[in-house]
Amino acid sequence: MYEYEAFNDPMQRPRYTGISTFMRAPHSESWDNVDIGLVGVPFDGGVTNRTGARHGPREIRNQSSLMRRKNQSSGICPYDLCNIADLGDAWIQKPFHLEESLDEIEYYFSQIHKRGIVPVSAGGDHSVTLPIYRAIACEHTVGMVHFDAHCDTGDDYLGSKFHHGAPFRRAVEEGLLDPKRTIQIGIRGSLNDLDIWKFSHDTGMRVVYMEEFAERGWKSIMEEARNIVGDGPTYISFDVDGLDPVYAPGTGTPEVGGFTTLEAQMMIRSLQGLNLIGGDVVEVAPPFDPSGNTALVGATMMFEILCVVADSVGQRLKLEE
Amino acid sequence: MYEYEAFNDPMQRPRYTGISTFMRAPHSESWDNVDIGLVGVPFDGGVTNRTGARHGPREIRNQSSLMRRKNQSSGICPYDLCNIADLGDAWIQKPFHLEESLDEIEYYFSQIHKRGIVPVSAGGDHSVTLPIYRAIACEHTVGMVHFDAHCDTGDDYLGSKFHHGAPFRRAVEEGLLDPKRTIQIGIRGSLNDLDIWKFSHDTGMRVVYMEEFAERGWKSIMEEARNIVGDGPTYISFDVDGLDPVYAPGTGTPEVGGFTTLEAQMMIRSLQGLNLIGGDVVEVAPPFDPSGNTALVGATMMFEILCVVADSVGQRLKLEE
Amino acid sequence: MYEYEAFNDPMQRPRYTGISTFMRAPHSESWDNVDIGLVGVPFDGGVTNRTGARHGPREIRNQSSLMRRKNQSSGICPYDLCNIADLGDAWIQKPFHLEESLDEIEYYFSQIHKRGIVPVSAGGDHSVTLPIYRAIACEHTVGMVHFDAHCDTGDDYLGSKFHHGAPFRRAVEEGLLDPKRTIQIGIRGSLNDLDIWKFSHDTGMRVVYMEEFAERGWKSIMEEARNIVGDGPTYISFDVDGLDPVYAPGTGTPEVGGFTTLEAQMMIRSLQGLNLIGGDVVEVAPPFDPSGNTALVGATMMFEILCVVADSVGQRLKLEE
Amino acid sequence: MYEYEAFNDPMQRPRYTGISTFMRAPHSESWDNVDIGLVGVPFDGGVTNRTGARHGPREIRNQSSLMRRKNQSSGICPYDLCNIADLGDAWIQKPFHLEESLDEIEYYFSQIHKRGIVPVSAGGDHSVTLPIYRAIACEHTVGMVHFDAHCDTGDDYLGSKFHHGAPFRRAVEEGLLDPKRTIQIGIRGSLNDLDIWKFSHDTGMRVVYMEEFAERGWKSIMEEARNIVGDGPTYISFDVDGLDPVYAPGTGTPEVGGFTTLEAQMMIRSLQGLNLIGGDVVEVAPPFDPSGNTALVGATMMFEILCVVADSVGQRLKLEE
Amino acid sequence: MYEYEAFNDPMQRPRYTGISTFMRAPHSESWDNVDIGLVGVPFDGGVTNRTGARHGPREIRNQSSLMRRKNQSSGICPYDLCNIADLGDAWIQKPFHLEESLDEIEYYFSQIHKRGIVPVSAGGDHSVTLPIYRAIACEHTVGMVHFDAHCDTGDDYLGSKFHHGAPFRRAVEEGLLDPKRTIQIGIRGSLNDLDIWKFSHDTGMRVVYMEEFAERGWKSIMEEARNIVGDGPTYISFDVDGLDPVYAPGTGTPEVGGFTTLEAQMMIRSLQGLNLIGGDVVEVAPPFDPSGNTALVGATMMFEILCVVADSVGQRLKLEE
Amino acid sequence: MYEYEAFNDPMQRPRYTGISTFMRAPHSESWDNVDIGLVGVPFDGGVTNRTGARHGPREIRNQSSLMRRKNQSSGICPYDLCNIADLGDAWIQKPFHLEESLDEIEYYFSQIHKRGIVPVSAGGDHSVTLPIYRAIACEHTVGMVHFDAHCDTGDDYLGSKFHHGAPFRRAVEEGLLDPKRTIQIGIRGSLNDLDIWKFSHDTGMRVVYMEEFAERGWKSIMEEARNIVGDGPTYISFDVDGLDPVYAPGTGTPEVGGFTTLEAQMMIRSLQGLNLIGGDVVEVAPPFDPSGNTALVGATMMFEILCVVADSVGQRLKLEE
């Protein structure tokens, strides 16, 4: 009923209007004909300090209205390459129990994985990546490009093995994640135990501390990253606390001294061409940033991930034709 | 696919989850079988001071997740009485032009009015009520219960007759609003012209200034309100600047010294039983209240209006059966 | 070493200085010679919507520096009547598990109860009052004056019986709380189930909805409250969401339309002379109020509760001499 | 050069435009032909807790653009009765020294007093009222209607007699203020010394605590106020912490449980007809309220004071003709 | 009347005092003897997403009090080289109509241009640069150094040719701007149409995307900029969204991944010696940054522009002598 | 009484719990067996613009809970090398008088210096470093590595020699600071007097302006810094306004265009091995940053300083054994 035909596409309408979905993609309860599913995982039962990441998906949806259809830098238009929909939020019915919640998240992602949908998610705290791996790494282990201030390969803490500081130890132990095909970028911050990331080192993950990052620059690091993950199936996990807290104050465990958003964008873009099977942006905790900027940054990183993942999925779809 | 059956109803899921619609009502692009349409009107081209009300619908949607199915005070459950849906936002394609935008808003509301849908809207600045009246008062003039710090019956200002301080003068002039069946509650604030609300007084609107309100109390005022509007078709227009600014700092023209939210709730509830044909909540300007409280208050008032309107619509639907 | 002798009392020093403890009371790891213990309960694992109450104790401590030694209205100086100390926070070592956390809280309060220390606590979400009752109501059931927007006598939700909307149902079921000696003041808000507070009504709790409160005024309500709790042991539980959200925006489940802080102060003061055995202020969630006002309000209510509790404890101490 | 003639009056232009002066009154470095001078006193060297009131004048100027020419309630148009100008800020050249700053403030107000200009000022902390009294009460003692949470008749503190908690003790001691013609309204808050306001009581000031205020209501209190100050020269001193902190969070020593802005407006208006010789609004500390609402409230109270003062000055000017 | 003679210069007084003008320059309604006019353009009727830039001039004035007389880096003291005054705001009397407002802005700048005053302005959204060009580029086309995230050479949108995404297309079409002497720096962000900046490319503007900027560094880019604009008359247009949003969150269309303020300062300083005929800082939208930092950044950039423009104007004035 | 033994160490408990001390170090009123004292200096009587630094120590304590035991980058664990305690705040009893307050601060630091305690402090404004020098530089002059936007070697201003823009001129004049062993890094900002830092240049301090810093990079600068201070006793003074304001908006005199937190961390770490005798972090003014990020940054810098100071103190303690 719009005079301008273009307005029948909600992405063309003024961006402050309408129901807010991820990137203004159509909201779909049905999963038919979806290649990439944008999914919210509103869970923060795994945080060890400041909560609030449960509100991440909604605020990222809100701010992601500022995203548009195409990537100016790479020229990728994900919507031309794949069918993309906002699938809503993963079903979490028992949020008071950490392990049961993780099981519910796993079940949800198993269902979409079964239908061949590649997930690009918005957390939620970092504990949610473990059940995603359980769902999508069932046939083969995955490699990972991991942006974060913390390796998240810690041990039991406060009575649990499954908090947001340990998912990747669990993922390796469960045979889901290949540590040799894992690189962790942006690591920093004071420690209670100098050996806290020993698991990463012992299992052969490549750990890039901020000092090295500052010394070598993002390009050199990302060349190494591409070599490490190779052409096996690879997942991108972006914890916003990898960024300096000025870019992402709305997060649970900020660590001063991180990389910039511009560096992050260029790093993600450099992953184009890899065999990408999904990705997530986690630890956006909106209550700690009333300005909404953290969620805008989260939405921007989600869009960058979507572009390279869609490029990879698009390649596979073409081959299948 | 939810284990708990109740969760198939999105209103039963944790309230921080999911796509945000008004009151968590279903979003419907189709207008079939809808009795009451919840509509956003993201337009603030009529404001004379601080803009931002264009962002009102989205933030009210977001905060309205805190609303539930039933009114504890009155016992009304609107969803049991009528089919209610979030219809999305009115189509505004030429937001740079005040008059054309108002025409587009009128066209939208005409379309839903034609289908017999009763609108309960979220603005947008107060200029949007005029085109709503043009759409729904075509068959007969309407009466109005109007909560506001300003009568909004001013004259031309800054080169326009259609700004947010004048809609009800225009509505009377155009034969849409019956001034004798109009009551304006909460009026206050300094003036550039002591006669600025002369039109209200001259045409016989009942103007309740805050001094009188404080003196007599809400109950006595509302008894008078019911008498004034009688049993003719009546519209409720709630400008959040009628409230004291501590309850609604996120608004364009705050005036210190208004009524409280509790008084507002009790006033709206007292309208139950009238012949109600629609209502709106306007002038929520989220950028001026990063806390979100103004939008929460707006959502709460919208829910109260929805309850009494649904009760009225429900009565009519029963008679029609 | 201070020139001014008075400064040896930290309460006399400029209030923006020093380590922040509750009310600037001495921090004591030892529990000897303490009559009233001010305790933080940094736990929000029981919330159903917005988290953050785990940060309540710290921010209430911070803002409570604005409290002084004496109550201007009642003349009570709690520090002259009893030994009062900030005991630090209850030990919660397994915050990821709701039930285990509640057990840990119970254990902590049992320990101080054993030593005859009367607790005045700062939450944390409202689920923490249940373990406090388990610890202090072991010898006899307690009565309660309960300020809140919600009765908190709900049923299982999201897979748990112990969330912050249910502690008082559990407390009655476990024989800790006497529903006949319970009054709940400030109840309001929309509902998913009109019968959600059926348990309160069925067991004989006195439920004061906001409409009745507005109609009758605080004085009349509090006369009734004194009659209901009588001279049996009585606990004061103050959920800041009983206040209108403008006074306490930093909370997890705000409901528009509550009472004012002035009314709350006068209500608490009117409890002087009862047989008081403790109290708490809960649901202060600082991330949702960067201004700190909610915590200031929480600290003020905690001080008011401290005054009437200290008066009661002081009476008992005198009798014991 | 404006097409619309009205625009040559800056008060008629859109309120977000132009250089911000108090009430959009003309800024005048010259003092000729000024009857009432609007003056900023950017000094907070007398505060005992949170600083920031030095920024009060500027932010009140900014928010006062929302004021208009006429008082809707009383019909007073101050600009029709007197010549009114924004005189800029009092000259404070030694802000690091409390006593010298007060001397500088006194000197400034003496200069304008000599020229017959009646001051309506915006502080600054409450210590600034003392030097204003020194300047304007040289011929005869003044009476005072004083809105505040604190009597400000305290003793030496932190090595000084001149901090913001003591100006009115000093003013009585110096023979400037007549305690028998003084009423203090809104007093409350916890105390370190129950006798801290002994000076007020001993010298015969009328002290209205919030309990009495809540009990009797503003009308009864103000009748008494008018009797107390009689027809002698009277000053209005409005400390924004007399208001409940929700209305004025941006202040140095907030005390929960104050009066409302609506009550304050009606109280000030009820002073019309007294022999008013000046007034001030103090303790607006903008850094503690990024929303700007406190300054808007301060500007509104300043406008209300301006109206009744202008009415009084206008009477005197007429008599002089 | 100041003891310290220096204080007769308002720029020497404490910076939180006094009426706030741009850089604390004298406010002048008269235009005689002014070489450079600091002008506010409070208009945001051309924005496509978040409004609020109408409040830019006032808040930039407020924050610009932190500016001082001299540029530490370049040694330029603009006030020694030219007569500089704050001329107030451009007259906009019909803010509801985009085209008419632009006409009013043009008329204003024509008037000051006629008197030989060089404008350095604070917007307002970017649509205001077009009418400035119409006023000052009447004798000869201008070149431009343009800092921005967007080329602003877009086409019609939402029914208008004159929104803030299109001024420079219009300026070229109207023969005001020489595209060959134009460089646009900082371009980035997702796009709805990959060809959206085709006009820039087709007409020969030099477009520097952020990737190239990051690769080459500001120095190399600015050498090229100087070559491109040469010694013809050149204008500097600084859209704060060219900066990364952490430096300027208070803007209408933030794009993650921009340059830093330090880079911006060094880039503007490197323009010293060019033939500069004016400049502006646009798109500061204060409601989206309650901290005031965006306006402080805007004021700082305006000062940097003022310095290089004053140096250029000073050269010309010397030649004229 | 904790089940987990580790919890007996408060540093191991969840970081949002407990009384907040600097770095969660034990609070000690006794000074026995303390090697390094963490001290708050809640004084802002020396600021020339925006106040609030008096609240710095408390908020830095609060945010420093995010610090942990060990430095990931250098491997230093200060608590293993020295006894470290939070000594509370310096005693300031006459905060209304600048000079007397400085005397009180000097007295306090003399007392701890006498006991051989090395101070690492949190201000307060920068005027407090002068009395610290008076206390600790009594036996020999000190060298300084000074991070700041301002040299703080200014002259008398607003009637005082001791404001926060002049401490290091005074310190040189009093023979406490060796200008030849002083380096000042990050200097920038507009100036009222181009010669304002003449004293620094004339006495031989090394002044590193931001342009040079940007050109050469932190490494080269810090090599020079180490040469300048040599192996004499050296103090680190970190004014957070040396950082770009995006990292530290909560400060009194922000200057756009500073260094990053990552650069600051690497610079401080590079001071390891020097003969360090103390350090401070000053000018954190929390009211200007409700997010708390500035205090988090302040706490992080304080931790970095603590690490290198502890390393140096540890070396001396070993030698003494």
What six digits make up the tokens of F293? Answer: 């990020």
What was the pLDDT predicted at D303? 98
Quote the strand ranges of chain A, DSSP E.
36-41, 84-89, 118-123, 142-147, 177-187, 206-209, 234-239, 276-282
Dihedral of alpha carbons C10, C12, C13, C14, sign: positive
Shortest CA distance from D2: residue in chain B: B158
Q: CB neighbours (10 Å) of residue E309?
A: 31
Kindly report the backbone phi and psi dihedral angles of residue D256, in degrees, each rounded to the nearest multiple of 5, phi listed first: -60, 145
**Mean pLDDT of the region C306-318:** 97
What was the pLDDT predicted at C4? 60
CA distance B213 to B186: 7
**Mean pLDDT of the region B216-231:** 98
CA distance C244 to C241: 7
Q: How confident is the model at residue A265 (pLDDT cuts 50, 70, 90)?
A: very high
Average pLDDT across chain B, whole number: 94
The overall pTM is greater than 0.90: yes
Q: Assign residue B227 a region: left if phi > 0, alpha if psi is -120 to 50, beta otherwise?
A: alpha
- Put simply, the answer to whether B192 touches D11 (Cβ < 8 Å) is yes
The architecture CATH gives domain F35-320: 3-Layer(aba) Sandwich (3.40)
Distance from CA of A194 to the nearest CA of B (A): 37
pLDDT tens for residues E177-217?
999 999 999 999 999 888 999 999 999 999 999 999 999 99
Distance from CA of E263 to the nearest CA of D (A): 29
pLDDT tens for residues D81-97?
999 999 999 988 888 99
**Mean pLDDT of the region B86-97:** 90
- Put simply, the answer to whether E70 touches F190 (Cβ < 8 Å) is yes
Element housing A276 (H / E):
strand A276-282
What was the pLDDT predicted at F6? 67
Interface of A with F (CB under 8 A): 48-50, 158, 187-194, 209-211, 214, 244-246, 249, 253-254, 256-258, 288-289
Q: CB neighbours (10 Å) of residue A114?
A: 11
What was the pLDDT predicted at D1? 52
Q: How confident is the model at residue C2 (pLDDT cuts 50, 70, 90)?
A: low
**Mean pLDDT of the region D302-318:** 97
What was the pLDDT predicted at F318? 93
- Show me where the domains of chain E are located: 25-320
Q: CB neighbours (10 Å) of residue D275?
A: 15
What was the pLDDT predicted at A320? 84
What was the pLDDT predicted at D30? 81
- Put simply, the answer to whether F72 touches A158 (Cβ < 8 Å) is no
Distance from CA of E290 to the nearest CA of B (A): 9
Residues of E in contact with F193 (CB under 8 A): 69-70
pLDDT tens for residues F31-65?
889 999 999 999 999 998 899 999 999 999 999 99
**C156 assigned ligand-binding residue:** no
* Chains B, C: CB pairs < 8 Å: 74
The architecture CATH gives domain C26-320: 3-Layer(aba) Sandwich (3.40)
CA distance B108 to D6: 37
Coil, strand or helix at F234: strand
Residues of F in contact with A50 (CB under 8 A): 16
Task: State how far the alpha carbon of E65 is from the alpha carbons of A143, B76, E21, E82, F189, in Å.
Answer: 54, 56, 8, 19, 13
Q: How confident is the model at residue D258 (pLDDT cuts 50, 70, 90)?
A: very high
* Chains D, E: CB pairs < 8 Å: 77
Chains contacting C (3+ CB pairs below 8 angstroms): A, B, D, F
Shortest CA distance from F297: residue in chain A: A256
Binding residues of A: 126, 148, 150, 152, 239, 241
**D239 assigned ligand-binding residue:** yes
pLDDT tens for residues A84-106?
999 999 988 889 999 999 999 99
- Put simply, the answer to whether A253 touches F66 (Cβ < 8 Å) is yes
Class of domain E25-320: alpha beta
Which of B92-96, B125-129, B221-225, D257-261 is the least confident region? B92-96
**D231 assigned ligand-binding residue:** no
Residues of A in contact with B61 (CB under 8 A): 19-20
CA distance E246 to A250: 13
Can you give the length of chain C in residues?
Answer: 321
Average pLDDT across chain D, whole number: 94
Pairing of strands E142-147, D276-282: unpaired
Cβ neighbours of residue A314 under 8 Å, at least 6 residues apart?
A: A81, A82
Find the radius of gyration of the CA atoms of chain D: 18
**Mean pLDDT of the region E242-261:** 97
Nearest to B17 among A3, A14, A89 (CB): A89
Coil, strand or helix at A60: helix
The architecture CATH gives domain A49-320: 3-Layer(aba) Sandwich (3.40)
* Chains E, F: CB pairs < 8 Å: 73
CA distance B125 to B53: 6
Q: How confident is the model at residue A253 (pLDDT cuts 50, 70, 90)?
A: very high
CA distance D50 to D42: 15
Distance from CA of F160 to the nearest CA of E (A): 13
Residues of E in contact with A265 (CB under 8 A): 256-257
Residues of F in contact with E268 (CB under 8 A): none
Per-residue pLDDT of chain F (321 residues; tens, 9 = 90+): 565 666 777 777 888 888 899 999 988 878 889 999 999 999 999 998 899 999 999 999 999 999 999 999 999 999 999 999 999 999 888 889 999 999 999 999 999 999 999 999 999 999 999 999 999 998 899 999 999 999 999 998 888 899 999 999 999 999 999 999 999 999 999 998 889 999 999 999 999 999 999 999 999 999 999 999 999 999 999 999 999 999 999 999 999 999 999 999 999 999 999 999 999 999 999 999 999 999 999 999 999 999 999 999 999 999 987
Is the pLDDT confidence value at B29 over 80? Answer: no
Residues of D in contact with B208 (CB under 8 A): none
Average pLDDT across chain A, whole number: 94
Is the pLDDT confidence value at B2 over 70? Answer: no
Average pLDDT across chain E, whole number: 94
Is the pLDDT confidence value at B131 over 90? Answer: yes
Q: Which residue from D174, D136, D118, D145 is spatially nearest to D272, judged by alpha carbons? A: D145
Residues of D in contact with F158 (CB under 8 A): 93-96
Binding residues of B for Mn(2+): 126, 148, 150, 152, 239, 241
Element housing C110 (H / E):
helix C98-114
Shortest CA distance from D16: residue in chain B: B49
Write b or e for each residue in B201-219: b if 16 or more Cβ atoms lie within 10 A of its Cβ, otherwise e.
eebebbbbbbbebbeeebe
Could you tell me what percent of chain F has a pLDDT over 70?
Answer: 98
- Put simply, the answer to whether B191 touches D67 (Cβ < 8 Å) is no
CA atoms within 13 A on the CB side of C92: 30
Distance from CA of E154 to the nearest CA of B (A): 16
Class of domain B5-320: alpha beta
Residue predicted with more confidence, D151 or E49: D151
Task: State how far the alpha carbon of B214 is from the alpha carbons of B164, C196, E141, in Å.
Answer: 26, 35, 63
Question: Which residues are bridge partners to D84 per DSSP?
Answer: D36
Burial level of F30, CB count in 10 A (0-12/13-18/19+)?
exposed
pLDDT tens for residues C15-44?
888 889 999 998 887 888 999 999 999 999
Largest Cα–Cα separation, chain F = 64
Q: Which residue from D175, D291, D313, D181 is spatially nearest to D234, judged by alpha carbons? A: D181
- Put simply, the answer to whether A52 touches C55 (Cβ < 8 Å) is no
Binding residues of B: 126, 148, 150, 152, 239, 241
Interface of B with E (CB under 8 A): 44-46, 50-52, 54-55, 93-98, 100, 158-160, 162-163, 287-288, 290
Distance from CA of C13 to the nearest CA of D (A): 9
- Put simply, the answer to whether A93 touches C159 (Cβ < 8 Å) is yes
Residues of A in contact with F23 (CB under 8 A): none
Is the pLDDT confidence value at D275 over 70? Answer: yes
CA distance B48 to B127: 11
Which of A155-159, E40-44, E66-70, E168-172 is the least confident region? A155-159
Residues of C in contact with A158 (CB under 8 A): 93-96
- Put simply, the answer to whether F190 touches E71 (Cβ < 8 Å) is yes
Distance from CA of E100 to the nearest CA of B (A): 10
Residues of D in contact with B246 (CB under 8 A): 246-247, 261, 293
Shortest CA distance from F267: residue in chain A: A211
Could you tell me what percent of chain E has a pLDDT over 70?
Answer: 98
Preferred mutation among D44, D50, D256, D289 to probe C, highest tally of C CBs within 10 A: D256
